[in-house]
Amino acid sequence: MEGNIVLNSLKERGKKRTPVDIMHEINILLAMMTCKVKDKNDPDWYLDHLEYDGEENEIYFICK
Protein backbone atom coordinates (compact mmCIF):
# COMPACT_ATOMS: atom_id res chain seq x y z
CA MET A 1 0.00 0.00 0.00
CA GLU A 2 2.65 2.55 1.00
CA GLY A 3 4.71 1.67 -2.09
CA ASN A 4 1.76 2.53 -4.33
CA ILE A 5 1.37 5.85 -2.53
CA VAL A 6 5.02 6.72 -3.25
CA LEU A 7 4.80 5.78 -6.93
CA ASN A 8 1.41 7.42 -7.48
CA SER A 9 2.43 10.65 -5.77
CA LEU A 10 5.36 11.05 -8.17
CA LYS A 11 3.11 10.36 -11.18
CA GLU A 12 0.47 12.81 -10.00
CA ARG A 13 3.00 15.59 -9.59
CA GLY A 14 4.11 15.01 -13.17
CA LYS A 15 7.71 14.89 -12.03
CA LYS A 16 10.18 13.51 -14.51
CA ARG A 17 11.98 10.85 -12.50
CA THR A 18 15.75 10.55 -12.60
CA PRO A 19 17.51 7.20 -12.15
CA VAL A 20 18.29 8.21 -8.55
CA ASP A 21 14.57 8.97 -7.91
CA ILE A 22 13.70 5.51 -9.21
CA MET A 23 16.48 3.97 -7.09
CA HIS A 24 14.95 5.54 -3.95
CA GLU A 25 11.50 4.19 -4.91
CA ILE A 26 12.93 0.69 -5.39
CA ASN A 27 14.67 0.87 -1.99
CA ILE A 28 11.36 1.81 -0.34
CA LEU A 29 9.61 -1.12 -2.02
CA LEU A 30 12.44 -3.53 -1.08
CA ALA A 31 12.22 -2.42 2.55
CA MET A 32 8.46 -3.04 2.61
CA MET A 33 8.57 -6.49 1.02
CA THR A 34 7.99 -9.47 3.28
CA CYS A 35 10.15 -11.69 1.09
CA LYS A 36 13.74 -11.39 -0.14
CA VAL A 37 14.91 -11.08 -3.74
CA LYS A 38 17.21 -14.10 -4.04
CA ASP A 39 19.49 -15.67 -6.62
CA LYS A 40 18.20 -19.11 -7.60
CA ASN A 41 21.78 -20.41 -7.97
CA ASP A 42 23.09 -19.03 -4.65
CA PRO A 43 20.68 -19.44 -1.72
CA ASP A 44 22.88 -17.34 0.60
CA TRP A 45 22.69 -14.25 -1.64
CA TYR A 46 19.86 -11.70 -1.54
CA LEU A 47 19.35 -8.14 -2.73
CA ASP A 48 19.48 -5.70 0.18
CA HIS A 49 19.27 -2.27 -1.47
CA LEU A 50 20.55 -0.05 -4.27
CA GLU A 51 23.21 2.59 -3.75
CA TYR A 52 24.25 5.61 -5.83
CA ASP A 53 27.93 6.46 -6.33
CA GLY A 54 28.12 10.15 -7.23
CA GLU A 55 31.78 10.02 -8.26
CA GLU A 56 31.15 7.37 -10.89
CA ASN A 57 27.52 8.39 -11.51
CA GLU A 58 26.47 4.74 -11.21
CA ILE A 59 23.86 2.80 -9.24
CA TYR A 60 24.96 -0.48 -7.66
CA PHE A 61 23.12 -3.51 -6.26
CA ILE A 62 24.15 -4.10 -2.64
CA CYS A 63 23.78 -7.77 -1.76
CA LYS A 64 24.08 -9.68 1.48
Short-list 35, 26, 34, CA closest to 62: 26
pTM for this entry: 0.67
Start-to-end C-alpha separation, the chain: 26
Torsion angles phi and psi, residue 20, rounded to 5:
-70, -40
- CA dihedral angle for residue 15, residue 19, residue 25, residue 31, rounded to 10 degrees: -170
* Residues in the chain where the model's pLDDT stays below 70: 1-14
